[in-house]
């Protein structure tokens, strides 16, 4: 039985090193819950080309809306989906483990204790691979938060979270978002999630990505700003009033870039963490700008960053739905109709002319004579 092939996009260093074809334990997939949804997702450790350290790749699948195939040289790949292997910050995978093991009051845990405890936590119990994942994961999380026991029959412990704890340099990543306690006399280090360190780390990411020069390298992000008339315009005029207006608009753009960047982090953070980070970035100038637009009657001076973020998402979803509806209404175009659209119809009578009232030759001649006399 031959295995089906799929087209995948990987970092250049992974392809050159041959790691993509390596089936050793160091290059096997890890099955971990998604940081936001809790659904099983696939990740793969790899050796980074830039510094030789271990990193993690996230596997994402893009499926076509219809049956598609790929043509690669002389080969046809029947599976039309595209697999993307993109680097992910290990901190985003550490957060669910740290949040799952946080107690009240918070206590310090050794790395082995941390990952071992997380592997048996309800939020890390996953359905076996290749089985229908019909379990209510949200309900399970709520039960765990309330301290209630849930029926986890058919679930398996997430052993891969222990493998995550064995990643080279994992303690360096823990240091970024955790308080540290050095135990005597062993000199071993215990860790505890620090809200202040986490907020500082994520804020640094947001500020770095929202810088104009960095942000503008991504066309999809720039298009998001153009939705509300915030695209970069050519500066014209040199008088003070115009300069002040441009400076004000740049403040609005900066806050909009922050909001767009925050949306990039959204899929990698739990709802609670994302909400807490969102509150660190007030957007007063963007609020005023949107409240002045007739298309945003729901926005006012009291609107919070969460309100604006929700509005941005709603607008993006509405645009996508409108385009999909338009495409669906148009329906598939046949080859014959497509060819007819290319025909030059200049000088040809419209088809409606064949169904109008017929004019006799005598009437036509009389009308022409009258036109000449006038």
Domain ranges of the chain: 7-129+155-193, 197-231+245-324
Is pLDDT of 293 > 80?
no
Is pLDDT of 146 > 80?
no
Q: How far apart are CA 214 and CA 218, in angstroms?
A: 8
Which of 54-58, 136-140, 339-343 is modeled with the greatest confidence?
Answer: 54-58
Check: CB of residue 16 under 8 Å from CB of residue 24: no
- Parallel, antiparallel, or unpaired for β 7-9 and 82-88? parallel
Q: pLDDT tens digits for 171-211? A: 999 999 999 999 988 889 999 999 999 999 999 999 999 99
Cis peptide before 287 (omega within 30 of 0): no
Q: How far apart are CA 10 and CA 8, in angstroms?
A: 6
Mean pLDDT along residues 307-315: 58
Specify the pLDDT at position 135: 42
Collect contacts of 143-151 with beta carbons under 8 A, ≥24 apart.
Answer: 150/122
Which residues, 6+ apart, have CB-to-CB distance to 266 below 8 Å?
A: 36, 274
CA 88 vs. chain centroid, Å, equals 13
- What distances in angstroms separate CA 208 from CA 18, 201, 257, 300, one per listed residue? 33, 11, 11, 29
Token code pair at residue 281:
């970035």
Q: How far apart are CA 328 and CA 348, in angstroms?
A: 32
Which residues, 6+ apart, have CB-to-CB distance to 152 below 8 Å?
A: 122, 125, 140
Q: What is the DSSP string of 13-59?
A: HHHHHTGGG--SGGGSPEEEE-TTT--EEEEEEEE-TTTS-EEEEEE
Closest by Cα among 143, 316, 354 to 228: 316
Check: CB of residue 9 under 8 Å from CB of residue 85: yes
Q: Quick one: pLDDT band at residue 357, thresholds 50, 70, 90?
A: low
Q: Quick one: pLDDT band at residue 222, thresholds 50, 70, 90?
A: confident
Residue 56 pairs in a beta bridge with: 45, 88
Which is more confident, 192 or 12? 192
Q: How far apart are CA 158 and CA 154, in angstroms?
A: 13
| 195-209 helix and 240-265 helix, angle to the nearest 10 degrees | 130
- Parallel, antiparallel, or unpaired for β 75-77 and 82-88? unpaired
Residue 321 pairs in a beta bridge with: none
Specify the pLDDT at position 225: 78
Which is more confident, 148 or 89? 89
Q: pLDDT tens digits for 51-85? A: 888 999 999 999 888 888 999 888 888 888 999 99
Among the four given CATH numbers 1.10.287.3510, 3.30.70.260, 2.20.25.530, 3.90.550.10, the one describing domain 7-129+155-193: 2.20.25.530
Closest by Cα among 298, 299, 185, 292 to 229: 292
Q: How far apart are CA 46 and CA 27, in angstroms?
A: 7
Q: Quick one: pLDDT band at residue 43, thresholds 50, 70, 90?
A: very high
Is pLDDT of 308 > 70?
no
Which residues, 6+ apart, have CB-to-CB distance to 9 below 8 Å?
A: 82, 83, 84, 85
The count of other CB atoms within 10 Å of the CB of residue 362 is 8
Mean pLDDT along residues 122-133: 75
Which is more confident, 3 or 175? 175
Q: How far apart are CA 283 and CA 276, in angstroms?
A: 15
Token code pair at residue 87:
């680097």
Q: pLDDT tens digits for 251-285? A: 888 999 999 899 999 999 999 999 999 999 998 88
Cis peptide before 105 (omega within 30 of 0): yes
Specify the pLDDT at position 144: 45
Token code pair at residue 221:
């992000």
Is pLDDT of 150 > 70?
no
Specify the pLDDT at position 137: 47
Is pLDDT of 304 > 60?
no
Task: Count each helix (H run) and each strand (E run) in the chain, helices first.
Answer: 15, 9
Is pLDDT of 136 > 80?
no
């Amino acid at each position: 039985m031959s295995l089906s092939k799929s087209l995948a996009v990987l970092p250049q260093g992974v392809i050159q090193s041959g790691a993509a074809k390596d089936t050793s334990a160091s290059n096997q997939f890890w099955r971990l819950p998604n940081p936001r949804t809790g659904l099983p997702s696939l990740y793969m450790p790899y050796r980074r080309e830039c510094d030789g350290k271990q990193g993690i790749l996230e596997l994402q699948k893009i499926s076509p809306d219809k049956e598609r195939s790929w043509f690669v040289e002389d080969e046809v790949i029947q599976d039309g989906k595209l697999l993307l292997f993109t680097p992910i910050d290990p901190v985003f995978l550490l957060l669910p483990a740290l949040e799952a093991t946080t107690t009240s009051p918070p206590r310090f845990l050794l790395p082995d204790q941390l990952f071992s405890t997380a592997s048996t936590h309800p939020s890390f119990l996953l359905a076996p691979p290749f089985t229908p994942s019909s379990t209510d994961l949200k309900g399970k999380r709520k039960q765990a938060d309330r301290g209630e026991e849930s029926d986890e029959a058919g679930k398996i412990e997430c052993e891969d979270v222990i493998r995550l704890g064995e990643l080279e340099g994992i303690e360096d990543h823990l240091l970024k978002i955790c308080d540290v306690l050095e135990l005597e006399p062993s000199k071993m280090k215990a860790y505890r999630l620090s809200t202040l360190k986490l907020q500082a780390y994520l804020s640094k990411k947001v500020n770095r990505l929202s810088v104009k020069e960095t942000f503008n390298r991504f066309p999809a992000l720039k298009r998001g700003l153009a939705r509300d008339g915030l695209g970069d315009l050519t500066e014209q005029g040199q008088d003070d009033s115009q300069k002040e207006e441009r400076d004000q608009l740049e403040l609005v753009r900066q806050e909009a870039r922050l909001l767009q960047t925050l949306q990039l982090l959204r899929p990698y953070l739990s709802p609670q963490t994302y909400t807490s980070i969102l509150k660190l970035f007030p957007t007063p100038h963007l609020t005023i700008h949107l409240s002045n637009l007739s298309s945003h009657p729901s926005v006012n001076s009291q609107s919070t960053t969460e309100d604006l973020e929700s509005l941005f998402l709603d607008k993006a979803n509405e645009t996508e739905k409108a385009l999909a509806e338009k495409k669906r209404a148009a329906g598939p175009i046949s080859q014959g109709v497509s060819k007819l659209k290319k025909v030059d119809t200049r000088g040809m009578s419209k088809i409606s002319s064949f169904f109008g009232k017929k004019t006799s030759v005598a009437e036509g001649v009389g009308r022409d004579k009258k036109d000449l006399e006038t």
